[in-house]
Structure 1
Amino acid sequence: MPVIPKTRPVILYLDDEIQNRISFSAIFRRDYTIILTSSIQEAFQILEYERVEIIICSEYICQMKGIDFLELTFSKYPTCSRLLVSDYANTDPMNKAQIFGYLIKPWDEKLLGKTLEKAHELFTIKETIFKNFW
């Protein structure tokens, strides 16, 4: 019986700081397919044509606040897990963007790895519910 290769979860990482993109990709490239961008317009194009499971966005990007970008993605891509990168713990009491978690810099690689695993689990659960009930 042939073994079907497991596809790696896809992460869209949006950050205008190249060092953050390079660092993130270097750490997690073995476990995830990582799509890097610094452009909101490009991020929306990627979301339109790729099956993205986790969206990670810096809190501050050139064109808008990261939380605003994540909120815009929620209605069209509700199953994606969303993470916001910040220099400090941030909370949005209304959580309009349905953020799964905040990634605080500098990263603790093990904690970040566990957060990504949980974010992917959440995506899988939401996708199953959407496929079976909507």
Structure 2
Amino acid sequence: MTSEKISVLYVDDEENNLVSFKAAFRIKYKVFTAISGTDALKILEEHPIVIIITDQRMPGMTGVDFLGQILEKYPDPMRILLTGYADMVAIVEAINKGKIFHYLTKPWNEDEVISVINAAYQKYLENKLLKETNDKLAVSNDQLEFMLRQRLLS
């Protein structure tokens, strides 16, 4: 792990849950909280977020809807769905629409959350490295194609 704290955005419509999450994890992670999907979008615009944990059942915008909405503009953060309800439809929808990394149940267990965040961060780093490698490969491929065209023209 790096010396810089992992940035985690926690979205939940219950103020007590936001306070509890921040109190439990603020020392280990750089925690941002949002009481709605709309507030979370504002945070995403202003801060680089690595991990997003969102409650499923929220008024106005469910966690799945929020994750699906941010996917195009913010594809890199690892997404985790949190819900107190055993709702298989929501889980399947979250996997398909929100491309979640993991599913957690409420009430959350601190050790489990830490374990999932750390696993998500490792996957985030792997994805970042893969993207950087693919970008370098694309540049090399373009350079080789250019050199081949030059050789064919001469």
TM-score normalised according to structure 1 size: 0.88
Q: Which residue number corresponds to residue 55 of structure 2?
A: 58
Would you tell me which structure has more helix in proportion to its own residues?
2
- Is 1:86 aligned to residue 86 of structure 2? no
Please tell me the root mean square deviation across aligned C-alpha atoms, in Å. 1.7
- Equivalent positions of 1:98-117 (< 5 A) are 98-117=99-118
Greater relative contact order: 1 or 2 (C-alpha under 8 angstroms, separation 6 or more)?
Answer: 1
**Secondary structure of 2:17 counterpart:** helix
Q: Which residue number corresponds to residue 133 of structure 1?
A: 134
Percent of aligned positions with the same letter in both sequences? 33
- Is 1:47 aligned to residue 48 of structure 2? no
Q: Could you tell me which amino acid in structure 2 is paired with residue 103 of structure 1?
A: L
Q: Could you tell me which amino acid in structure 2 is paired with residue 101 of structure 1?
A: H
1:30 to 20, 27, 32: 27
Contact 2:37 2:63 (8 Å CA) reproduced: no
Say how many residue pairs are matched.
Answer: 130
Runs (5+) with no aligned partner, structure 2: 136-154
2:8 to 3, 6, 11: 11
**Secondary structure of 1:71 counterpart:** helix
Greater shift, 36-45 or 26-35, is seen at 36-45
TM-score normalised according to structure 2 size: 0.77
Greater shift, 62-71 or 90-99, is seen at 90-99
Distance 1:41 1:85 in 2: 18
Q: How far is 1:130 from its partner?
A: 2.1
Greater shift, 57-66 or 84-93, is seen at 84-93
Larger Rg: 2
